[in-house]
Amino acid sequence: MRYPEDVRYTSEHEWARLEGGLVTVGITSYATDQLGDVVFVELPQVGRKLEAKKPFGVVEAVKTVSDLYAPLAGEVTAVNEALAENPGLVNQAPYGEGWMIRLKPEHADDMKKLMGHDDYAQLIEQEQA
């Protein structure tokens, strides 16, 4: 499995991508592989302030359900409305069209606290061992 290098990762299998001062958040391909087909994603309201490492939503798959955790603190500026109609985008393009929320981070520096590509790949290897 491949993990893109232009995003940072959490141990809860979210990814975060900093672009133009905003952070886009989704779940990794490892997470979607573990979950199976996603049938519903519960996302917060735009404007809600999220705390780092606290749940902000729920991803519901056929077989199982999982909480979504904020990679860093910030205010929700957008949610992926397309997921309401087509939650399967999370499986098809977890790092692209399957994104979940966009945040205005409290401290953009918090991105550095997240895992890089190599550390995340290593974490997955350990989880699978």
Q: Pick from 31, 58, 33, 27: which is nearest to 44 by CA?
A: 58
Report CA 114 to chain centroid distance, whole Å. 12
Nearer to other proteins, 37 or 119 (CB): 37
Q: How far is CA 111 from CA 11, 39, 59, 71, in A?
A: 14, 29, 23, 8
Shortest Cβ 60–other proteins spacing (Å):
5
Shortest Cβ 101–other proteins spacing (Å):
18
Q: Is 63 in the site for other proteins (CB under 8 A)?
A: yes
Q: Which residues pair with 15 in a beta bridge?
A: 9, 26
Shortest Cβ 48–other proteins spacing (Å):
14
Residues that bind other proteins (CB under 8 A): 33, 36-37, 39-40, 42, 58, 60-63, 65, 87, 91, 129
